[in-house]
Structure 1
Amino acid sequence: MAPILDIRNLYKNYGTTEVLKDINVSIESGEFLVLVGPSGCGKSTLLNCIAGLEPISGGTLAIAGEDMTDVSPKDRDIAMVFQSYALYPTMSVAKNITFGMKVRGVDSATQERKLAEVARQLQIEPLLNRRPGQLSGGQRQRVAMGRALVRDPKLFLFDEPLSNLDAKLRVEMRTEIKALHQNLGASMVYVTHDQIEAMTLATKIVVMKGGVIQQIGSPSEIYNRPANLFVADFMGSPAMNLIPARAQGNGSGTRIEIAREGGEPIVLTDARARDLPEDVIVGLRPEDIAEPGFRHGEAVQEASCKIDIVEPAGADTYVMTHLGGKPVTARLHSETEAAPGATHTFAFDLSKVSYFEPESGRRLN
C-alpha cells in the first residue's frame, strides 16, 4: 500500500530565496507526523505546500498514491485546522460545522448524522446553537476541529492549533487531539514550535531548521539519539546538556576530561566509546545527571561540582552548575539536600551519553 503522504525532493523558492531545500518525508496511513522547529524554519510553508495553498518549486507530492503536485486544494481530500480557528461569526456552531458539507451537496440526513457524531466526540453538544463570539478559545478550537472531522478526509492538517490557548487549556486540548487520533486512526500532519507538543503527540517527528530537515524519527529516537547539536539542544525541556570535553583513548575505553570551575577537571571513563576526536561535545540529559544511588550500573560514575542555582519543581528539583565553561542542569529528586554555593556529588550515567563533533555538530556515536 502506498504511503498516505509521500514527499520527494521538494523545493520551495520565493524569487531567489530558497525556503525549503530537498525535503523528503513520507508517512503511512494512521501515523501522526509533527513538523517542529523554531520560527522561520519552513514548517508552516511545508504544511501549506501539502495543502496546495503554496505551489512547490521542485519535486513531487503524493497523497494516498496519487500525484498532487499540481492539484488544487479542494481536490486533495484534506481537512485543515488553522491557528486562527477561521469560524464564520454569524453562523451557529452547528452551521459552522456543516457548512462545508452543505456546499459540497451532502444530503441533510448525512449532515445531521455526522454533526451528531462529531459533537459527541468533541463534547460540544450543548454549544451547537451558540455563535463563535459566545465561545471560549478552547471551545472555538473544538468547533474548528469538528468542521475538519466531518469531512472524513484522507489527511488532517493542523497549523499550530493550540498556540492561542492558555497553558492549562493547551494541555487539555493536546490530550483531546491525542485521543482523537487514537480513536479515529486518522492520518495527521501537525505543525508546532513547541517541542513538548511534538514529543507527546507524534508517532513520527520531523525536526527542521532553515528549510532543511535535521532529523526524522520517533519521539524516542529524537530524544535519545539526536542527530546533531541543534536537535539535541532544541528537543527536550530542559534541553540536553552539551559539555565541551577532551577525549583520550586508553585500554579500558576512552578517558573523558571535563573542566570544572575552581578545581581539578572531572575525569570519567566511558568503556563503550571508541575513536573519538580529542575535542568533543558530551551530551547528557538532565535526568542522566542524578543523585548518587538513584542510578546503577557500570556506566554510572560520580563526581563533585559546586552548585550555582537550585530550582524546586514539585516532584523534581533542577540544579545548575558549570562544567566545561557551560551551564549544566541536573534533575534531582524533590528531597535533595543540594544548596546554592555548596559542593554536591552527582552520578553521571554514561550509558545515556551522546557525543558530538564540535565544528560540524554531527553525532559521533
Structure 2
Amino acid sequence: MAPILDITNLRKNYGATEILKDINVSIEPGDFLVLVGPSGCGKSTLLNCIAGLEPISGGQIEIGGRDMTQVSPKDRDIAMVFQSYALYPTMTVAKNITFGMKVRGADAATQARKLKEVAAQLQIEALLDRRPGQLSGGQRQRVAMGRALVRDPKLFLFDEPLSNLDAKLRVEMRTEIKKLHHNLGATMVYVTHDQIEAMTLATKIVVMKGGVVQQIGTPAEIYNKPANLFVADFMGSPAMNLIPARAQPNGQGTRIEMDCGGSAPIVLKDSRATGLPQDVILGVRPEDIAEAGFRAGEGVQEAACLIDMVEPAGADTYVVSQLGGKQVTARLHAETRAQPGQMLDLAFDLSKVSYFSPATGERLN
C-alpha cells in the first residue's frame, strides 16, 4: 500500500537556526500518527510544514503520492483542527461548519446533508443555531472538528486540540477522537506534548526532541523498547525507573549490581542479558516491580529494598525506594502493607527491563 503521507529528509531553518533536522516519516491510509515531545521540539512546526503553512528548507513532503513543495495549503486536500478552535464568532455553528464547503462551491443540498451527518456524529445537533460565544470549550472543539470532518480530506491535522480543556473533558474528547478515527477510517496526524494522549490515540508515534526524531514506532514498541534514555524517561506515567548499575558476565547471563543506600548492594542475575558494558543504566517500569509473591515467571528476581515513601493511589499503591542513588518507584497492589522505613522484598521482572549506555544514552538490548 502506498503511503498517504511521505516525508523525506525534511529540514526547516529560521535563518541560521535549524528547527527540523532530516525528518523521515511515512504513514499508510488509516494510520493515526501522533507527533509528541516537549515544548520547542519542533512538532508543531512539522505539522505546519505538512499543512503548507510553513515553507520547508530542504527535503520533500508527498501527500497521496504528490509532491507538495510548491502546493498552497488550500490545494493539499487536508483539514486542520487548531488549539484555538479558530471559529468565526459572528456565524452560527451550522454556518461555521459549512462555510468552507460553500467557499469551495458545494451546493446547498450537499452542505445540508454533510452538516446533518457530522452534527449527529459529534452530538451537536442542538447547538447548530448558537454562536461560538455561547458554547463551552468542549462544544467549540466539537464544532472545530465538525468543520474539518465535512471536508472528507486525505489527511486530518490536529494541533494540540485538547490542551485548552480541563482534565475530565480532555479524557472525554480523547475518546471521541479515537471513536471518530475508528468509524471514519481516516488518516490523522496529531500533535501533543501529552504522552498519555499519544499512547491512547496513536497507531504510530513519532517522539521528537530538539528537531530530531528520537524514535518511531507503535505505542507498544515505544513503551516497551524505548530507543534511548530520553524516550524512556519521556514516555510513561510514572516514568520508567532509570537506575545506574554495574554489569558482569556470569555463566549463561549477567550479574547486575545496584547500590542500595547504606546497605549492601542489590544483586540480580539476568539470564537473557549478554554483551553489556561494565557500566549500564537499567530501565524498569514501575509496574514491572511487584511485591514478592505477586509476580511469577522465569525472569523474576527478588531483592530486599528499604522503603522510603508509600503513596496510595486508589487501585494501586506506589512505593519509593533508593537504588543506584536514584528514587525508584514500584507499582504495588492497593492492599500492600508496605510501610516507610521497613525492608520489603520486591520482585523485578527482568524479562521486561531495558539497558542503556550511560555514555550515549542509546538502548543496548
Tell me the equivalent position of 1:268. 268
Amino acid at match of 2:319: V
Residues 1:182 and 2:182 are matched in the alignment: yes
| Counterpart for residue 196 of structure 1 | 196
Task: State the 1:129 CA deviation.
Answer: 0.5
Q: In the TM superposition, what are the counterparts of 1:115-194 in structure 2 within 5 Å?
A: 115-194=115-194
- Measured in 2, the distance between the counterparts of 1:246 and 1:283 equals 13
1:321-344 per-residue CA deviation (whole Å, 9 max, x = no partner) reads 110000100000000001112211
Indicate the residue corresponding to 2:282 in structure 1: 282
CA shift for structure 1 position 311: 1.0
Following the alignment from structure 2 to structure 1, what is the Cα–Cα distance between the partners of residues 333 and 228? 29
Cα deviations across residues 80-101 of structure 1 (Å, max 9, x unaligned)?
A: 0000000011111000000111
Residue 23 (structure 1) shift: 0.1
SS in 2 for 1:90: coil
3-state SS of the aligned residue for 2:20? strand
Q: Which residue of 1 aligns with 2:225?
A: 225
Q: State the shift of 1:309 in Å.
A: 1.3
Distance 2:118 2:172 in 1: 18
**What are the ranges of 5 or more consecutive residues in structure 2 without an aligned counterpart?**
none
Matched, 1:238 2:207: no
Structure 1 CA distance for aligned equivalents of residues 312 and 132 of structure 2: 41
* Structure 2 letter corresponding to 1:54: E
The answer to which of 164-173 and 306-315 deviates more is 306-315
Give the letter for the 1:251 counterpart.
Answer: G
SS in 1 for 2:297: coil
**What SS does the aligned partner of 1:272 have?**
coil
What TM-score, normalized to structure 1?
0.99
Q: CA deviation at 1:188?
A: 0.1
Correspondence for 1:18? 18
Structure 1 counterpart of 2:323? 323
Count of aligned positions: 365
| Equivalent residue number for residue 95 of structure 1 | 95
Give the drift of 1:226.
0.2
Q: C-alpha distance in 2, partners of 1:102/1:251?
A: 73
Partner residue of 1:251?
A: 251
SS at match of 2:145: helix
Residue number in structure 1 paired with 2:107: 107
Partner deviation per Cα, 1:142-167 (whole Å, 9 max, x = no partner)? 00000000000000000000000000
Deviations 1:51-90 (CA, angstroms, capped at 9, x unpaired) = 0000000000000101111110000000000000000111
Please state how far the C-alpha of 1:252 moved relative to its aligned partner: 3.0
Equivalent AA in structure 2 for residue 319 of structure 1: V
- What is the CA–CA distance in structure 2 between the aligned matches of 1:356 and 1:283, rounded to whole Å? 7
* Most deviating of 271-280 and 295-304: 295-304
SS of residue in 2 equivalent to 1:307: strand
Q: Aligned partners of 2:217 and 2:69: how far apart in 1?
A: 25
What is the CA–CA distance in structure 2 between the aligned matches of 1:308 and 1:250, rounded to whole Å? 31
Instruction: State the match for 2:343 in structure 1.
Output: 343
Q: Which residue of 2 aligns with 1:358?
A: 358
Matched with 1:60 is: 60
In the alignment, the residues of structure 2 paired with residue 2 and residue 322 of structure 1 have an alpha-carbon distance, to the nearest angstrom, of: 50
Deviation of residue 2 (structure 1)?
2.1
Amino acid in the other structure paired with 2:202: A
Distance between the aligned counterparts of 1:202 and 1:9, measured in 2?
23
Give the whole-Å Cα distance in 2 for the aligned partners of 1:233 and 1:321.
18
Output the CA distance in 1 between the equivalents of 2:335 and 2:2.
53
Q: Distance in 2 between matches of 1:285 and 1:101?
A: 48
Residues in 2 aligned to 1:342 and 1:133: alpha-carbon distance in whole angstroms = 57
Percent identical among aligned pairs is 82
Aligned-residue offset at 1:297: 1.2
Distance in 2 (CA, whole Å) between partners of 1:179 and 1:244 is 42
77-86 or 306-315, which moves further after superposition? 306-315
**4+ residue segments displaced more than 3 Å:** none
Distance 1:147 1:301 in 2: 54
Alignment TM-score, normalising by the size of structure 2: 0.99
SS at 1:121 equivalent: helix
* Structure 2 residue matching 1:111: 3-state secondary structure: helix
Question: Structure 1: 5+ residue runs without aligned partners?
Answer: none
SS of match in other structure, 2:293: coil
Determine the C-alpha separation between the residues in 1 that align with 2:117 and 2:97.
12
- What secondary structure does 1:308 align onto? strand
RMSD: 0.6
Note if 1:48 corresponds to 2:78: no
